[in-house]
Amino acid sequence: MNDIRDELADIEAVDPATFRDTGTGAYGLTPGGFVPKPYGRLVAEGLALAREMFGPDVDTGPGSVLRRVVELTSIEHARTYTMLSGLVDDLTVPTARGQALDRLGEELGLPRPFEAATGTVDLSFVGAFPDGIESLTLPAGARLLSGGGHHAALSRSVVLTPSRTTQSVPVAAFHPGPEHNLDGATPETTLATWNALDPGLDAVAALASLRGGASLEDVVAITQPAPLTGGEMRWPDTRYRQLLLRAPRSVWTTRAIEIAVGLVPGVRQVKVIDRYGGLDIDQPIFGNFSFGETVFGTERDLASPYMFTILVAPTAAAVWQGADGLAAAISEAVEDLRPIGLFPDIREAIEVGVGVRADLVIDGVPLSTGTRAVVNASDPAQVLKARLMERVRAYIEGLDFGASISPARITWALMSEPGVADVRNLRLIRYPRDAATIDFFGVADTSGARELECGEALRTGADEIAVYIDDPDDLTII
């Protein structure tokens, strides 16, 4: 009886004027977008219309023929509303999906980019460790090469020790696209050598020199056990939509240059600084200028070219200098976008290394038994720490220039991993990320590092960018 009363209340709630009004009211195309009618509303309107046409005594109860007809037609009406909602959503960038979003991006001249292929390689230390050297650290971003000139890089740092001379490490292709799905079937498509120009491999080069000029591969051998995959995949809708929403509708703007530079492989963050409005005239100075009291401008000094600044934060795998370096690639990317006579000053952002030291309480994850040192050194603990470090890296390296690193956000990222019951004594460590200051042999020298107080945020300057230093020993399972 209660269900029947509720249904009658829904039917009676439909205003009879609804059937005589051509407007859609709260449904259909509204100022806030297209709102489809739900199935329940369609059934209620159909039954209310039947009662108005055939009289209040008509049988519209469950099981009646008239009710079944209304329910069947309401299903088709609901499908029509859903289809119309999808058509309307696919007309704009904020709501379009899939192929519709592809078409809108192509109209803007920004087809959906490819993802970078990913996979794993096995790194093996060749021979015995020299006396006095207890370990060798290969940093994230260390570049590898195939025989065909394909570039890839380590996705995380790895430490080789006398007890663990071989480790499997995730890698990612430096350039996106399916042509970098290296299958390892031929020398041209197999990652087997190091990039000798990469400064992150100075430690390997130093060991090679101790062995009488051996190659880098004679120190750390590379084996690709499986093909790299995923290069044929395109950016997901969310990431692609953010790119299109930032895309400008003209070429001589700071936003146009930011988009072009941001799509160059090896660029993590970019900011264009146009202090005097040479690229954009939409600056506060032009809105507040007193034309009657101040000279608007002087004759231009043709001997002094106008400069604007492109501040770039490279990825860990990027090589800045050289004919094929990142600076040259950025200069080429903006060559056709800058106005004549305006030249870019391409600057590399100052990288601030950020370490995260914390004690972890784990519950529900099977770990080895024994002392704290044994538990933290075990393979299950290392796998768990690798997942945690990826969460921290995603937060820190997603920040913009001059952003503050929040310990609370890092705690939230760690606590989001299943099995982490508590995070205690979390402290941030700040130290420069200059490869020349890092000791890749043995324990890293942290004499120049500064450990912040528990709960203290780490602040960066306007031309600084945070880079996560992934040291598994900083995360201690207690």
Q: Kindly indicate the confidence band of residue 10, based on its pLDDT and cuts at 50, 70 and 90.
A: low
The reply to whether 112 falls in a domain is: no
Q: Of 92-96, 123-127, 346-350, where does mean pLDDT reach its minimum?
A: 92-96
pLDDT surpasses 80 at 226: yes
- C-alpha angle 370-373-378 in degrees, rounded to nearest 5: 75
Instruction: Return the pLDDT at 295.
Output: 47
Instruction: Return the pLDDT at 66.
Output: 86
Instruction: Return the pLDDT at 12.
Output: 56
- My answer on whether 329 and 365 are in the same domain is no
- My answer on whether 205 and 321 are in the same domain is no
Rounded average pLDDT over 402-419: 93
- My answer on whether 68 and 30 are in the same domain is yes
Rounded average pLDDT over 152-167: 90
Rounded average pLDDT over 407-432: 91
Among 315, 348, 381, the domain-final residue is 348
The reply to whether 113 falls in a domain is: no
- My answer on whether 329 and 284 are in the same domain is yes
Tokens of 412: 């939230």
Rounded average pLDDT over 349-359: 92
Instruction: Return the pLDDT at 415.
Output: 93
DSSP string, 290-353: -TTTS-------TTS-EEEEEEEEE-TT---SSTTSHHHHHHHHTTTTSPTTEEEEEEEPEEEE
Domain that holds residue 21: 2-89
Nearest to 119 by CA among 164, 197, 199, 184: 184
* Measured distance CA(422)–CA(406) in Å, rounded: 17
Per-residue pLDDT tens over the stretch 315-333 = 988 988 888 889 999 999 8
Q: Of 177-181, 196-200, 383-387, where does mean pLDDT reach its minimum?
A: 196-200
- My answer on whether 362 and 429 are in the same domain is yes
Rounded average pLDDT over 414-439: 79
Rounded average pLDDT over 460-466: 89
Instruction: Return the pLDDT at 277.
Output: 56
* Measured distance CA(270)–CA(349) in Å, rounded: 9
Domain at 286, CATH number? 3.30.300
Determine what percent of the chain is predicted with pLDDT higher than 70: 83
pLDDT surpasses 90 at 28: no
Rounded average pLDDT over 360-367: 88
Instruction: Return the pLDDT at 20.
Output: 52
Among 348, 373, 405, the domain-final residue is 348
- My answer on whether 335 and 257 are in the same domain is yes
To 10 degrees, what angle do helices 98-107 and 237-246 make?
20
Instruction: Return the pLDDT at 250.
Output: 66
The reply to whether 241 falls in a domain is: no
pLDDT surpasses 70 at 450: yes
- My answer on whether 45 and 62 are in the same domain is yes
- My answer on whether 362 and 312 are in the same domain is no
Instruction: Return the pLDDT at 236.
Output: 94
Instruction: Return the pLDDT at 288.
Output: 53
More confident residue, 322 or 358: 358
Nearest to 210 by CA among 273, 129, 124, 147: 129
More confident residue, 225 or 449: 225
More confident residue, 306 or 314: 314
pLDDT surpasses 50 at 313: yes
pTM for the whole thing? 0.68
Distance of CA 231 to the CA centre of its chain: 16
Q: Of 143-147, 206-210, 339-343, 455-459, where does mean pLDDT reach its minimum?
A: 339-343
- My answer on whether 325 and 355 are in the same domain is no
- My answer on whether 303 and 195 are in the same domain is no
- My answer on whether 44 and 27 are in the same domain is yes
- My answer on whether 463 and 377 are in the same domain is yes
Contact 466, 352 (CB under 8 A): yes
pLDDT surpasses 50 at 237: yes
pLDDT surpasses 50 at 221: yes
* Measured distance CA(428)–CA(209) in Å, rounded: 36
pLDDT surpasses 80 at 443: no
Q: What total number of domains does the chain contain?
A: 4
More confident residue, 447 or 209: 209
Q: Count of CB atoms within 10 A of residue 271's CB? A: 21
Instruction: Return the pLDDT at 436.
Output: 45
